[in-house]
Structure 1
């Protein structure tokens, strides 16, 4: 491998290897986000889709299909479907979280309003189902429909668990599997299914996407307490201010003494936050090794993703997918 290639991120390498396919995906997205009667739909959609997102999930679908030897046209439809589902969930999430920034830009709900964000998200979900039915493959329809339901379920579970200090690591994992990993695993799994891959390979692709999504989310949770907003595309401490029980907080709460638990009750359950509370929260997490243990968990899930790839055909794309699993956690090493 040349130094030039080695210097590129796995995401950049995937983008180069799948450039022609991604061009077709982007053209299909632009075509299907159009609306003859409601110009606000493409306005809102374009704001988010063209905001410099990495298109990681659709590239996972394309890579999985190519890795399994697919030569037909429908991996493009599935990749566009995955991106539409992802974009719809982001529009809805920003309304639920009352967010004002996404990928370093004002959110759609801030620029337009909550109603527009919710309704355009609904439109994109409907478009995604139109796209997936065009493949004529009932199994991919089943996988993506289930993923859509799981994502919504994960978001609702997060609502009920968000400010409850009784939330444990099992519930956290269930939430993450819903709101993040479900679309990663569906994205990779449908790539194998549309390629007609054997069952063991389809399962390996699912396992890779699932583990990658969990590693990705844990890393994101950790970065909220130690990254810069330029790296993570949101403000450091946002999860704390939104009183989200992410993995490092859950670990710190489990190990807290009475005084520390009173602190967590005040800032998370009651939402009474003041100057210095974020810094104290970080200090408590560090005191109990919560950040380090969460980092170890992220690395474990990354290793599981790489192990799943060993069950797939030897292919340059497989190597880059393994590098991607390492890369998503490299920011927290």
Structure 2
């Protein structure tokens, strides 16, 4: 979630541009975007579930927001890991609709009439020149006061993250189920990234009003920039039939180099990957005759 993007959607975008369902859709995209308003890729199904609108309303709303220049299609490579049915990645344009803090007004016509004749006073007596310069200074001061009209200060809403107290990361902070679901979608190891995130927060003494939102951005940015730890679905399969540890467990046997040996080695590798202690397994198989070794391994696998 990006508070900057949410503030832009709530306060900077003119109300007449995002009436009805458009505002809800824009806020939802801002909630899924990174700190720069980029990389939001909620599926249409998810948007329907979160907003309660029909799929047709969502499709029309996204089209209208894109046509209005409020969103544009982002880097679609972010969703490459999602397979065939990938949602569209959207970037918020973050256009500045508010303009400057002070808005210049048109200079009143009398301003030009007041200052123009003053140049002609040069060459007249010094006393009259001083009087004219004094009048000119006063006129310029009044004109400068009227040139700019200050906008009234808008008190921030209580829901604004800046209005909430920023704190250091809590000692009991841990990833939520939402974080784990996001990490799974991105193909990231959530636990490893959470450890890195917590260490970084403690080391830098950083403060935040929403640490959960900060970690969501950490995961998305990590995926985009390539520094996140990928989730290895085969992390536990450290052993294969050709591993040295497998050969050590089996030891020298007569059928080495045959299909039978490969079958036995695969069984040993499976047992080791299931957590069976290799030394214990070697001791159990040490005195087993070669013709019953396969049967013994099947029994070991069933017990594991």
| TM score, norm. by length of structure 1 | 0.27
| TM score, norm. by length of structure 2 | 0.29
Q: Which has the larger radius of gyration?
A: 2
More helix, by proportion: 1
Higher relative contact order, structure no. (Cα contacts within 8 Å, ≥ 6 residues apart): 1
